[in-house]
Amino acid sequence: MRAWRWILGVALAWPLVASARFGTSPDDRPVSAERAQRQPVEVIVYGDPFARWDGTRWLVHTQVGMPVPYSLLALRNRETEVVAIDTRFVMACEKTWRTGDHRFEVDCALEDVSLQVAPYRNGVPDTVTTRVVTELIGHLRGGKLQIIVGDDGRILDIGLTSLEDRGEEQAVALRQQARSLLARSMLGFQLKLPGPGRIQGGQWVEYDSPLFDLPTTTRTEGLQSEWWTPRKPVTVNGLGSSYIVHQLDRYQGRLVVQSLGEAAIGIGDTDKGNGSIFQVSMDGVAVFDEGTGVLTERVWAFRGRASSGSSLSDGRVSPYYFNTGRFTLLGEDDHPALPPSGVVGAPGATERADTPSWPAFL
């Protein structure tokens, strides 16, 4: 049985265990850092807290269902909006240099990238969406991610150096868009540990994790009659507060960290002051190599629903949000085949003869 199957099995069982231990939220039964620290079983300290970035290769797969249509741009005045994105990539990472006492810069070369999108049906032809995706993939494939990582498991900053350094407004927007798409997938590597290079038995709490950030996009105001019609940009932001409780146990000879979290996140039109509140829950499981302390695999699932009375001004907000992901450490000879990039059907939508259905999460 593949490793992720039993990992996911533990993830599904974890909410039942967690609810018995500490309730459904800190308000029901307080889960403070002080309380978590009173329950340590053991503390394991590793000499190199950056070992997972030292000559390693990774397969990353994420699926995101947007609460608001997400704008994808191309250099020649093409634009399309999507409601869900399936992103997969293979990357090879190397530590470059230490940028402080507790942080390192890491370069990750993108060996292969796949991007499948479900378009928002606003009159934009699928052929235009396909061209936008093809151009975006062309900029991503063969590029390089520059990451600043902390010795406590945090991802501090992410940059992308694959696009030409051009000053045009559209090129700057495209570069930021490409960086944002990959950064959202890289957030799965964020798992704040109790201390530098330290894994602690029992429980600890992580507050305001970037994993809970809803997708931020610049969309355009109003509906278009034609896909080339220019529209006024409107920024949609996601912000709020969150907590994640982590629990470390041994399972079948591995160190397994099970995670459970909740958040209340607001999004809205900044120029009109309207917004929606999403209640988001998170389940996840991560596997550490006990000998090296390397986080070798992680799966996570976020589910969100808009609270009663929440709505954006034009009614385009979805009452649902999801973010599912997995990354796996690869061997030197592992070269997984990624699916072709392009347009697919929306999650749960009726299948169309001319469009592949939304891909299954692997």
Contact between residue 244 and residue 259 where contact means Cβ atoms under 8 Å apart: yes
What sign does the dihedral 341-343-347-353 (CA atoms) show?
A: negative
**pLDDT beyond 90 at 131:** no
pTM (predicted TM-score): 0.80
Domain ranges of the chain: 3-330
Mean pLDDT of the chain: 78
**pLDDT range class, residue 32, cuts 50, 70, 90:** very low
Q: What is the C-alpha to C-alpha distance for residues 278 and 292, in angstroms, rounded to an integer?
A: 38
SS3 of residue 135 by DSSP: helix
Higher pLDDT, 114 or 25: 114
Q: Residue holding tokens 């000559």? A: 55
Residues 199-221 have a mean pLDDT of 76
What's the pLDDT score for residue 311?
63
Tokens representing 182?
Answer: 């990959």
Instruction: For residue range 252-296, list pLDDT tens digits in order.
Output: 878 999 999 999 887 765 445 567 788 899 999 999 998 888 999
Instruction: For residue range 312-327, list pLDDT tens digits in order.
Output: 555 566 778 899 999 9
What is the share, in percent, of the chain residues with pLDDT greater than 90? Answer: 35
**pLDDT beyond 50 at 76:** yes
Instruction: For residue range 48-68, list pLDDT tens digits in order.
Output: 899 999 999 999 999 999 887
CATH topology of domain 3-330: Lipovitellin-phosvitin complex; beta-sheet shell regions (2.30.230)
Contact between residue 108 and residue 57 where contact means Cβ atoms under 8 Å apart: no
What's the pLDDT score for residue 15?
39
